[in-house]
Structure 1
Amino acid sequence: MSRPPLPPFTLESAAQKVRLAEDGWNTRQPEKVALAYTEDCAWRNRGEFVTGRAEIIGLLKRKWTRELEYRLIKELWAHDGNRIAVRFAYEYHDDSGQWYRAYGNENWEFAADGLMQRRLASINEHPIAASERKFHWDINAPRPADHPGLSDFGF
């Protein structure tokens, strides 16, 4: 299986890879999202370390059970060869209705077939009021092309 765009990345193909990842994560479909990763992909996500698609699916299911109305924006930070650095922010609320905004950075490393073989994520979050939310689009659709990105918000 191949997952274009493939490394080595250009500025354009790295930005495309980031947007494809954002769109995939915004589906909140763990099984679909996990197909972007190698069978033995290694993740560090906050304090969790997982390896392989089955563990990735489990982590994502737990995540999206807690993080309701999740909306994510990713932005390319840097790229070189088969690696991409990304910054991101996402908003969600918990089951009590409290909204949060999370910010973070990810380092991605890809296999030759375009599947991610390593994902290292550092994430911080803080509570926000519903009136402070910035990410507004249909929850069942990707972020519209004309919706502001992270740099537009100054994040």
Structure 2
Amino acid sequence: MPDTRPPCPPFTAETALRKVRAAEDAWNTRDPERVALAYTEDSEWRNRDVFLTGRTEIVAFLRAKWERELDYRLRKELWAFTGDRIAVRFEYEWHDAAGQWYRSYGNENWEFDANGLMRRRFASVNDLAITERERRVLPPAGSSAGA
């Protein structure tokens, strides 16, 4: 029986927003294995200049990411949707081991299979070094603030 990750396409405004919130909540756990379950076994990714294929590569990528990006907190915003695709805007804050804070922001394009698993994820990401004073207080994972 194939993995299923509702809501499944075709998306409505309500189901697309639920998909975005579920992704935000999962990523804020910083649990690579849990996050990877939302993707097809052969999912294709572009994250910045890194190209990945499959859950094994996704898990390794996320482990390294969250070892480097400390106290990571993400917020996603539904930008557009149609059929089996969703576009989001996002921002997250994190700091490195030396204590330098960053705000990373950008856009993601997602494509899903019929079972609601993401088969393609293309992310464009920019990083901005910020001071402690410039940090934004992002809402906790699962919050409806900013939705």
- Name the CA distance, whole Å, in 1 between partners of 2:46 and 2:63: 16
Give the TM-score taking structure 2 as reference length. Answer: 0.95
Q: Is the 8 A contact 1:71 1:135 kept in 2?
A: no
SS at match of 1:58: helix
Residue of structure 1 equivalent to 2:130: 128
Q: Which runs of 5+ in 1 are unaligned?
A: 151-155
Alignment deviations for residues 37-83 of structure 1 (CA, whole Å, 9 cap, x no partner): 00000000001000000000011011000000000000000000000
Q: Which runs of 5+ in 2 are unaligned?
A: none
Following superposition, the deviation at residue 17 of structure 1 comes to 0.2
Letter in 1 for 2:28: N
Q: Is the 8 A contact 1:75 1:88 kept in 2?
A: yes
Q: Is the 8 A contact 2:102 2:129 kept in 1?
A: yes
Residue of structure 1 equivalent to 2:146: 149
Residue of structure 2 equivalent to 1:20: 22
Residue of structure 2 equivalent to 1:103: 105
Alignment deviations for residues 76-104 of structure 1 (CA, whole Å, 9 cap, x no partner): 00000000000000000000000000111
- Alignment partner for residue 37 of structure 1, among 33, 36, 39? 39
SS at match of 1:144: coil
Q: Is the 8 A contact 2:74 2:138 kept in 1?
A: no
SS at match of 2:22: helix
Residue of structure 2 equivalent to 1:70: 72
Residue of structure 1 equivalent to 2:58: 56
Determine what percentage of the aligned residue pairs are the same residue.
62
Alignment deviations for residues 2-58 of structure 1 (CA, whole Å, 9 cap, x no partner): 100000000010011000000000000000000000000000000100000000001
Give the TM-score taking structure 1 as reference length. Answer: 0.90
- Name the CA distance, whole Å, in 2 between partners of 1:103 and 1:44: 15
Count how many residue pairs are aligned between Structure 1 and Structure 2.
145
CA RMSD of aligned residues (A): 1.3
- Name the CA distance, whole Å, in 2 between partners of 1:76 and 1:136: 16
